[in-house]
A and B are shown apart, each in its own frame.
Chain A
Amino acid sequence: DQQVKQNSPSLSVQEGRISILNCDYTNSMFDYFLWYKKYPAEGPTFLISISSIKDKNEDGRFTVFLNKSAKHLSLHIVPSQPGDSAVYFCAASEISGAGSYQLTFGKGTKLSVIP
């Protein structure tokens, strides 16, 4: 029973264009969402996050959109660069009270940015 789903295993985008990575979730209790980037032989690196009280969060070239009613979020990378080529994981957690709660991850989407 996958609570966080990334339905596209891979995505290829031309350098300079927009990359859009999608993520769906089923657990209504999730209220905090994160994107991580992973290069081979390295651990996941935190990229950007969004709380359920927002519908958009921007950080430089990266923007995350959240549609709570559709239980869907997306990561936009503009403009895409060859160095963005990596596996991107969507993750979700419940935050009730203080604390670092467990992250539930999707299976990842491998992004290839073509020069």
Chain B
Amino acid sequence: DAGVTQSPTHLIKTRGQQVTLRCSPKSGHDTVSWYQQALGQGPQFIFQYYEEEERQRGNFPDRFSGHQFPNYSSELNVNALLLGDSALYLCASSLLAGLGNEQFFGPGTRLTVL
């Protein structure tokens, strides 16, 4: 049973560029959340997708957008990259109707903006 997978593992971009990160949820999960983890900080919630719609959003600008596909996989897009967008981007999957709130994380994508 594959867990949460993310691609790519590492990415280097320059300021002003756009980036797309991808996530496949754990088998049987229907909800995908994205988090940004800056160096020395805990993960910060970006947004959450369920049934191909954004159902919750954290305090991130519109430059951050996402998408969920019918197979529950998801993409995170960031436009007009800034140096401060350099971080580890984590995808987490869960079951919306599941007990509790355990979210299962992927290994992350390390984004470096030069």
Partners in one complex: yes
A43 touches B108 (CB 8 A): yes
**Do most interface residues of chain B lie in helix, strand or loop, or is the interface mixed?**
loop
Write the chain A residue with the least CB distance to B55. A99
Expressed in whole angstroms, the Cα–Cα distance for A55 and B107 within the complex equals 31
Asked whether, in the complex, the Cβ of B56 is within 8 Å of the Cβ of A101, the reply is yes
Q: How large is the interface on B (under 10, 10 to 19, 20 to 34, 35 or more residues)?
A: 20 to 34
Q: How many A-B residue pairs have CB under 8 A?
A: 74
The 8 Å CB contact of A100, one of B40, B96, B108, is B96
Q: State whether the Cβ of B102 lies closer than 8 Å to any Cβ in chain A.
A: yes
Contact of B44 among A41, A95, A99, A105 (CB under 8 A): A105
Contact A105 B101 (CB under 8 A): no
- Given A41-B107, A49-B102, A100-B103, check contact A107 B42 (CB 8 Å): yes
> Which residues does B use to contact A, with CB under 8 Å?
4, 31, 33, 35, 40-45, 48, 50, 55-56, 58, 90, 92, 94-98, 100-108
A contacts, CB < 8 Å to B: 4, 6, 32, 34, 36, 41-46, 49, 51, 89, 91, 93, 95, 98-108
